[in-house]
Amino acid sequence: MSDLGQLLKKARNERRLTLEDLQETTKIRKRYLEAIEDGDFKVLPGNFYTRAFIKSYAEAVGLDPDEVLRLYRNVIPEPTAEPKPDTGRPRRRSVANMDKISKWTTSLLLFSFLLLIVIVIYSVTYNKDEPDEEITNPPITDEVAPDTGNNDGMDSVPLPPPDPEPESEPEPEPEVAYVNQDGSSYIYSVSNVEQLEIELAFPNGDCYVVAREGDSNGTPIEIQASNNMYRQNDTDNIVSDNSVWIRFGKPSSAEIRVNGVLLEEENLKASNPWNVQINLVKSDEAAGA
């Protein structure tokens, strides 16, 4: 067993936690937790996940994850950097396209200018040759002609005023409500909206995040964080037509807004990992309830 594994195992035993307890808390498979304690990192799915799993393990047993990673940086494998794509050829193609558009625009403007000159010359010549027409009919106005006594006794009847347009009802405000706690998950309901608009910000530090559509067994949602790790001051938006389940490795680092409403419950300020289930209650479901 490595020094890192002994440190983590000792902290786990001091908290009287079994590997099964740790698996439930961190959602990391038991065999991966055993591999971390044994120092057998080849069992883990990759270098990044090795660092993320060790960090989650350390958080779950009350250790400072950043300090653990710093102390054992020579033991923990570093994540490999991905090569940057070559963007030279698309850039040359874009410049060529811009040259073609510029030439086409110049030709179009020149043609439009010549066409305008022809229209002006034709209009001036046509108005000069055509004689003025005499006005034979009086202008039509909104004034009512005076009563001359020849209306066969029928008085003029004023037209009724037009019906006022109905005022549109204002749309209801989004309603975000804390429901309850179910194990390690905190449940919220959102109504008066057609889709969820979740804004994530991390002003207080780094945070490991996993998001799924529906619930914890749903389809993974693609997020902007590299390898699911948000850095301090990162932001992101999640838009979904269904409910959303999100796991936060360190919720005290995060700031969550759902359809513009900031979640401010005390349970969101914890340092240990927890889950949030945001249930979308659509208008037809609310009416049926």
Domain boundaries, the chain: 3-71, 175-283
The percent of residues in the chain predicted with pLDDT above 90, rounded, is 26
Per the document, the length of the chain is 289
Q: Please state the rounded mean pLDDT for residues 100-117.
A: 86
Q: Please state the rounded mean pLDDT for residues 99-109.
A: 82
Q: What is the pLDDT of residues 193-216, one digit of tens each?
A: 989 999 999 999 899 999 999 898
Q: Please state the rounded mean pLDDT for residues 132-146.
A: 54
CATH H-level, domain 3-71: superfamily: lambda repressor-like DNA-binding domains (1.10.260.40)
pLDDT reading at 152 higher than 70: no
